Amino acid sequence: MLVNAQIVLMRCKTNKKLSGIRIEQTENGSWKMNWAFPINEEIARNEGFDKTNLTADIYIDNEYPGCPICGAKGFVRCGSCGKLTCYDNEISLNCAWCSNFMDNITESDEFDLSVGDY
């Protein structure tokens, strides 16, 4: 069976290092986040991971190990630049991409993962 999977990019909230997050489409059409790995920026760009564009219901699978740098189990999408930063239930957080201050963070099950260039 062919698996539909994508890689989206996320930066660590602690040191801004880049990670690739594997999301896989399930049989019911939703997407599960199930793997994460540190990645070099040049390799990410060469692989086209900076171009991932997906609007989907996404959830964090039990297999997901968390951010490979700090271990945070979640992520947040910046309202300013639209990119992902790891997240571990903080009430507020600075975006690891653009330093935008995000407060009153709320959880959601649907994300627009059009993360674009970095």
Q: In terms of Cα–Cα distance, which of 3, 2, 50, 47 is closest to 25?
A: 3
Cβ-contact 97, 18 below 8 angstroms: no
Other beta carbons within 10 Å of 106: 5
State the pTM of this model. Answer: 0.85
Domain count, the chain: 1
Q: Tell me, what DSSP letter sits at residue 10?
A: E
Task: Classify residue 10 as exposed, middle or buried by CB count within 10 Å of its CB (0-12, 13-18, 19+).
Answer: buried
Range of the domain at 42: 5-112
pLDDT tens digits, one per residue of 36-63: 999 999 999 999 998 887 777 788 999 9
Residue 118 inside a domain? The answer is no
Closest CA to 83 of 7, 8, 2, 3: 8
Please indicate, yes or no, if residue 117 is contained in any of the structural domains.
no
Q: Is residue 24 part of a domain?
A: yes
Q: Is residue 15 part of a domain?
A: yes
